[in-house]
Amino acid sequence: MSIIGSRQNPRVRRWRKLGESRRARRIERRAMIEGLHLVAACLDGGGRLQTLIVSESGQSKREIAALAARHGRPPIVLSDSLFAAIVDTETPVGVAAEIDLPERSFDPRDSTACVFLDGVQDSGNVGAILRSAAAFAVTDVVLGAGCADAWSPRALRAGMGAQFALRIASSADLIQAVARFGGTLICTVARDGLPLEQADLRGRVGWIFGGEGQGVSPALAAAATQGVTIPMPGSGESLNVAAAAAICFYERARQLGASGSAASRG
């Protein structure tokens, strides 16, 4: 098996661009994933690997060989130094893949539980919110203008495979998207909202979360049907948006666990 070692190789240059450029990912509808967990999550979620890529030293690893067998086609092998140049981690495990971005468009009005993100610019926060959403059965996410790319390397690492378990859409008009949803729309507020545990979260719930600094835009906050506040007995004034989202999703799951599924309540 030949080993690619040149940085000028057209495929290598393209893989680097897919990892670095949101525009390239959007145009090609492709992305790069890295690591045993993400590649396995893509395969488990029915994702399509265009190309499996392994490092020269990674060829001999049993776990990587098992992923190659699942893929069903021989991987492309890069020298260790070249592999390190196309991935985003400092100590790569030795496996990556070029994937098709999933086609999972959806109509918000058909969603049982949906997250609307308004200008969440930190890709780590976007990935962490997706991870919590998947963990607590909030199946759909709409990213508004100004949000970080859910398929960037950092968001993928933070999401830990959640991207392959969710329906993720983008919208230039979140006001229209939340109006289309039509269910209970919950917006978190730092103070004077209904305490989270007192809100009825058992029906169709849409969660609205804003960016790290500016929060939810006034127009979008006005579209919410309920403002809720997470009680914080400590000295902090606010929570990181990803932490707040995880607490909200947990509270909904807790209420549903005691009262039945959201689907049964329409």
CATH architecture of 108-265: 3-Layer(aba) Sandwich (3.40)
CA distance 255 to 229: 17
Model confidence over 203-228: pLDDT tens digits? 999 999 998 778 899 999 999 999 99
pLDDT for res 258: 59
Q: pTM here?
A: 0.91
Q: Is the pLDDT of residue 262 over 60?
A: no
Q: Which secondary-structure segment (H or E) carries 254?
A: helix 241-259
pLDDT for res 16: 95
Q: Is 146 helix (H, G, I), strand (E, B) or coil?
A: coil
Q: pLDDT band at 13, cuts 50/70/90?
A: very high
For residue 15, report the phi and psi dihedrals to the nearest 5 degrees.
-65, -40
* Tokens of residue 83, six digits: 């592999």
pLDDT for res 263: 42
Q: Is the pLDDT of residue 264 over 60?
A: no
pLDDT for res 235: 65
Model confidence over 169-188: pLDDT tens digits? 999 999 999 999 989 999 99
Can you give the residue ranges of every domain in the chain? 10-100, 108-265
pLDDT for res 29: 95
Q: Is the pLDDT of residue 265 over 50?
A: no
CATH architecture of 10-100: 2-Layer Sandwich (3.30)
Q: Are 178 and 223 in contact (CB under 8 A)?
A: yes
Q: What is the mean pLDDT of the chain?
A: 91
CA distance 109 to 181: 4
